[in-house]
């Protein structure tokens, strides 16, 4: 007799996307619904937490219903409810956590709590078979770090001292007059930019696996201010070239340090995950350098790089197998630590 698949309804609401997905056996994405608030926050140049929570409240029910409908599932077909309970914006997280708790309680199904970064990390397993140990370059709007994943567990080898890579993209984009979110805008502008128009400094932080991007942000701001003080406003074409130079500085450091850490640790595979993993130049440069070093590089499709609930459902399956249920007093934790 064919064994029934374990179907997890996963919810993600840590920032400005309300998302729900149904994932079968931790690999098969039966549905993946994302209601983005980007147009709402764009006029403010970034996410406004209070507005984000209110929009999550409006979107969560229809998004969950849609995820069930797309997966051709009823509530009874679902085996467990999973939710990202941190880190993120507390008001946004609370909407997903409260909804998931209420649903699990009413349906008498287990509740599974997933760390948001564990979700990003799990996203790479959707389309790739990866054996441990591997090194993950986790790059999002709130976090940048190098995570070594071994049979015995995961540990961060290094992380950003200041801005996350995505935050650097967003802040530099804002300085260049590009809309929120800055990452995809810089990537698009950079395609039209000229190479070697200007060079920005890189913070290598030698002897560590850490990153720092606040110096780059200041360098771009200083460069723009110096030009503007002389009445030399950059043209649209020049903005594209400046965006290209800033993107190059970020991708250069991320890719070189990831490859160096993988070689030193003796791992053969690098997983590139998180919202910034959608960046075309980062994928290209890291692929080039990984190949030259004899390393395999894996990254999710762009839809699984930025925030989504499918990745939460994939990560939750490990916990299902371990029967690692969350308690009914589960709370949103904006600064949740990994592990």
Which of the choices Zn ion, ligand KG4, none does residue 85 contact, using the CB cut-off of 5 to 8 A by kind?
Answer: none
* Residue (6 or 175) nearer to ligand KG4, CB: 175
Q: How far is the CB of 263 from ligand KG4 (least distance, A)?
A: 25
Q: Does 18 bind ligand KG4 (CB under 6 A)?
A: no
Q: How far is the CB of 29 from ligand KG4 (least distance, A)?
A: 17
Sheet containing strand 296-298, edge to edge, reads 153-159, 144-150, 134-139, 269-273, 296-298
Q: Does 32 bind ligand KG4 (CB under 6 A)?
A: no
* Residue (234 or 274) nearer to ligand KG4, CB: 274
Those residues with Cβ within 8 angstroms of residue 112's Cβ, 6 or more apart along the chain or in another chain: 8, 80, 81, 82, 83, 316, 319, 320, 324, 325, 326
Q: Does 145 bind ligand KG4 (CB under 6 A)?
A: no
Q: Does 307 bind Zn ion (CB under 5 A)?
A: yes
Query: Chain-centre distance of CA 237, in angstroms?
Result: 30
Q: Are the C-beta atoms of residues 250 and 165 closer than 8 Å to each other?
A: yes
Q: How far is the CB of 146 from Zn ion (least distance, A)?
A: 17
Those residues with Cβ within 8 angstroms of residue 122's Cβ, 6 or more apart along the chain or in another chain: 311, 312, 314, 315, 318
Q: How far is the CB of 73 from ligand KG4 (least distance, A)?
A: 26
Which of the choices Zn ion, ligand KG4, none does residue 29 contact, using the CB cut-off of 5 to 8 A by kind?
Answer: none
Q: Does 160 bind ligand KG4 (CB under 6 A)?
A: no
> Which contacts (CB < 8 Å, 24+ apart) does range 103-106 have?
103/9, 103/64, 103/75, 104/80, 105/328
Q: Does 167 bind Zn ion (CB under 5 A)?
A: no
**CA nearest neighbour of 276 among 211, 192, 208:** 211
Q: Are the C-beta atoms of residues 71 and 31 closer than 8 Å to each other?
A: yes
* Residue (13 or 140) nearer to Zn ion, CB: 140
Q: Does 166 bind ligand KG4 (CB under 6 A)?
A: yes
Binding-residue pattern over the window 123 to 152 for Zn ion, x denoting contact by CB under 5 A:
-----------------x------------
**CA nearest neighbour of 8 among 75, 80, 59:** 80
Indicate which single residue of 8, 10, 15, 203 sits in contact with ligand KG4 (rule: CB under 6 A).
15
Cα separation values, 67 from 19, 23, 63, 129, Å: 9, 10, 6, 25
**CA nearest neighbour of 88 among 324, 245, 312:** 312
Binding-residue pattern over the window 248 to 287 for ligand KG4, x denoting contact by CB under 6 A:
--------------------------xxx-xx--------
Which of the choices ligand KG4, Zn ion, none does residue 248 contact, using the CB cut-off of 5 to 8 A by kind?
Answer: none
Longest dimension (CA), the chain: 77
Chain residues that interact with ligand KG4, rule: CB under 6 A: 15, 140-142, 166, 169-170, 181-184, 187, 274-276, 278-279, 306-307
């Amino acid at each position: 007799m064919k064994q029934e698949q374990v179907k997890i309804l996963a919810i993600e609401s840590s920032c400005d996307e309300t998302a729900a997905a149904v994932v079968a056996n931790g690999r098969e994405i039966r549905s993946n619904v994302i209601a983005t608030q980007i147009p709402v926050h764009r006029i403010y140049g970034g996410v406004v937490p209070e507005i984000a929570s209110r929009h999550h409240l409006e979107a969560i029910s229809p998004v969950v219903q849609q995820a069930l409908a797309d997966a051709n599932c009823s509530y009874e077909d679902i085996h467990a409810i999973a939710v990202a309970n941190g880190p993120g914006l507390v008001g946004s997280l609370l909407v997903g956590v409260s909804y998931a708790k209420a649903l699990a309680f009413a349906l008498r199904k287990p509740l599974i709590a997933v760390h948001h970064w564990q979700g990003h990390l799990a996203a790479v397993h959707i389309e790739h078979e990866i054996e441990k140990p591997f090194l993950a370059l986790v790059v999002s709007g709130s976090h940048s770090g190098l995570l070594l994943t071994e049979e015995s567990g995961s540990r961060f080898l290094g992380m950003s001292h200041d801005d996350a890579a995505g935050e650097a993209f967003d802040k530099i984009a804002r300085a260049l007059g590009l809309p929120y979110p800055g990452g995809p805008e810089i990537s698009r502008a950079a395609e039209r930019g000229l190479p070697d128009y200007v060079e920005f400094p890189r913070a290598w932080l030698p002897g560590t696996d850490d990153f720092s991007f606040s110096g780059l942000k200041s360098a771009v701001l200083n460069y723009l201010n110096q030009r503007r003080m002389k009445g030399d406003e950059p043209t649209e074409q020049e903005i594209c070239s400046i965006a290209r130079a800033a993107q190059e500085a970020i991708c250069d450091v991320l890719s070189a340090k990831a490859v160096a850490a993988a070689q030193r640790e003796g791992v053969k595979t690098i997983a590139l995950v998180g919202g910034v993993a959608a960046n075309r130049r980062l994928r290209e440069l890291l692929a080039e350098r990984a190949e030259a070093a004899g390393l395999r590089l894996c990254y999710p499709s762009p839809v699984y790089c930025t925030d989504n609930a499918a990745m939460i459902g994939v990560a939750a399956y490990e916990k299902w197998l371990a029967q690692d249920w969350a308690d009914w007093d589960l709370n949103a934790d904006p600064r949740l630590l990994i592990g």
